[in-house]
Structure 1
């Protein structure tokens, strides 16, 4: 069982998760659920479908808990898995509406863990190149779903600075993705950057 003090330390939570600690899993669920819900709802436009996708993503997290690198932030991996599930859900809906489209649509599944891992690594590398302040703004606003005002208070900077940093971060990440992926995967990763 992990120490309660570790609940505020993601590395500690990930160690607990890796060891099968359900309290650590619940703490990570609570930490990321709101931001995942908000972003996934932008794609699916349905509360019930959004909850289903998020539940599936967290089931995947539990099932792959021994494969997660506990020294790396969970956010990029979790958002990638959730995004892929949401896109897969939309593709299933399209196939149901049009049999003609079925032959051209391939599902994106988190069973292809290598693809998720590659996308996670790409995002993580891009994020790691940000300045500490911008990385923190990105973490708070995009990964934890905090408002500009909350981020401003936590970091001791103005709301305007938060907004400015975030705009610069998103531009930088999109440029990085554009330079480091092949044409056929650019759209998926650009969509991923939009959701994040």
Structure 2
């Protein structure tokens, strides 16, 4: 989650007017938090830093749209979320898979209604793909991907072996890939799909 450090209203007003010192103050206050948030999904230091750079450049570009009376943290979080989402879309060969199912944030005004609809459509498709898994396999998948537990932690929690957890995950990923391929005609290579799951899509 992005840092909860507070930036004063005066600083936001200065940023809005193009004050570079105010921009540097905001960068110093939020860089680490945004980096950790994005890295949670990309798991790649270099790619994460590139996206962080994009986020701050976006903030500078649209600084005149900042409302000092509203939550700046939420504003930055939304920009970071969308930048990360677009990067993941590239990694999935342009297949829109919404990775923030449990952290729903409205899209930026610059996003088209069509893009928003497609994101929600794939989000729902992914949800049903996971729900179609057998109960135990679904439980293993959610614990590993949504809660971020290791195979050993899941094995201990469910009283099964780490090998069984691994088998469940392998079969779950294959089932979800097949489900989405049949329902939406997505052309996602198995390698790209597994990479997407590995970086925390759910």
Provide TM-score, normalisation by structure 2. 0.47
Computing the radius of gyration from Cα coordinates, the structure with the larger value is 2
